[in-house]
Amino acid sequence: MMSWRQIYLVLKREYITRVKSKGFLAATFLVPLGIILLYGVFIAIFLWDSEVTYEIGVKDETSQIVASLQETSPQRYLDMTELEVDSLRTLVQTGELTGYVVITEENLTENRPLELIYSGGGGLALLSSIRTDMREVFRQEQLKRAEVTEEVQQIFETRIGVESRRLTEDGKETEDDSAFLSILGVAMGIIIFGAIFGYGGYIMRGVIEEKTNRIIEVITSSVKPIELLTGKMMGVGALAITQIGIWLLTLSLIAMAAAPIATLFMSGESTAEQMAAMEAAEEELPFIFSIPSIETSVIVYFVIFFILGYLLYSSLFAAIGSAADSETDTQQLILPVMVPIFIAYGILLHAMNTPDSMLSVIGSLVPFFAPIVMISRIAMTEVPFWEIGLSIFLMIITFAGTMWLSAKIYKVGILSYGSSAGYKDLFKWIKQG
Q: Does 430 bind another protein (CB under 8 A)?
A: no
Counting contacts by CB under 8 A, is residue 221 touching another protein?
Answer: yes
- The stretch near another protein (CB under 8 A) out of 64-72, 208-216, 311-319, 399-407 is 208-216
**Cβ-defined contacts of 115-120 (< 8 Å, 24+):** 116/56, 117/88, 117/89, 117/92, 118/56, 118/92, 119/92, 119/93, 119/95
**Residue in 212, 401, 409, 244 with CA at minimum distance from that of residue 317:** 409
Pairing, β 173-175 against β 165-167 = antiparallel
Q: How far is the CB of 9 from another protein (least distance, A)?
A: 5
Instruction: Report H helices in 123-177.
Output: 123-145, 150-157
* Complex with another protein: residue 177 or 227, whichever CB lies closer: 227
DSSP H helices in 213-295: 216-220, 225-267, 272-284
Q: For another protein, which is the closer residue by CB, 1 or 335? A: 1
Is 298 a binding residue for another protein by CB under 8 A? The answer is no
- 423 binds another protein per the rule CB under 8 A: no
Q: How far is the CB of 21 from another protein (least distance, A)?
A: 7
Residues present in the chain in total: 433
Q: How far is the CB of 221 from another protein (least distance, A)?
A: 4
- The only residue of 214, 267, 296, 385 in contact with another protein, by rule CB under 8 A: 214
Interface residue with another protein, options 4, 156, 417, 423 (CB under 8 A): 417
Pick from 83, 183, 190, 219 the residue near another protein by CB under 8 A: 219
- Could you tell me if 212 and 325 are in contact, meaning their C-beta atoms sit under 8 angstroms apart? yes
Give dist(CA 237, CA 318) in Å, integer.
Answer: 13
224 near another protein (CB under 8 A): yes
Identify the residue among 109, 415, 422, 423 touching another protein (CB under 8 A): 415
Largest CA distance in the chain: 97
Site track for another protein across 154-193, x = CB under 8 A: ----------------------------------------
217 counts as binding another protein under rule CB under 8 A: yes
Binding mask 19-48 for another protein (x = CB under 8 A): --x---------------------------
Q: What angle do CA 307, 197, 402 make, to 5 degrees?
A: 60
Residue type, 187: A
Interface size with another protein, residues (CB under 8 A): 25
> What letter would DSSP give residue 396?
H
Establish if 263 lies at the interface with another protein (CB under 8 A): no
3-state DSSP assignment of residue 356: coil
Intra-chain end-to-end CA distance of the chain, in Å: 16
The CA distance from 146 to 113, in Å, is: 20
Q: Which stretch binds another protein (CB under 8 A): 33-41, 88-96, 327-335, 410-418?
A: 410-418
Is 205 a binding residue for another protein by CB under 8 A? The answer is no
89 touching another protein, by CB under 8 A? no
Question: Contact 55/98 with Cβ under 8 angstroms?
Answer: yes
Q: Which stretch binds another protein (CB under 8 A): 115-123, 218-226, 329-337, 386-394?
A: 218-226
Under the rule (CB under 8 A), what is the footprint of another protein? 3, 6, 9-10, 13, 17, 21, 209-210, 213-224, 415, 417-418, 428
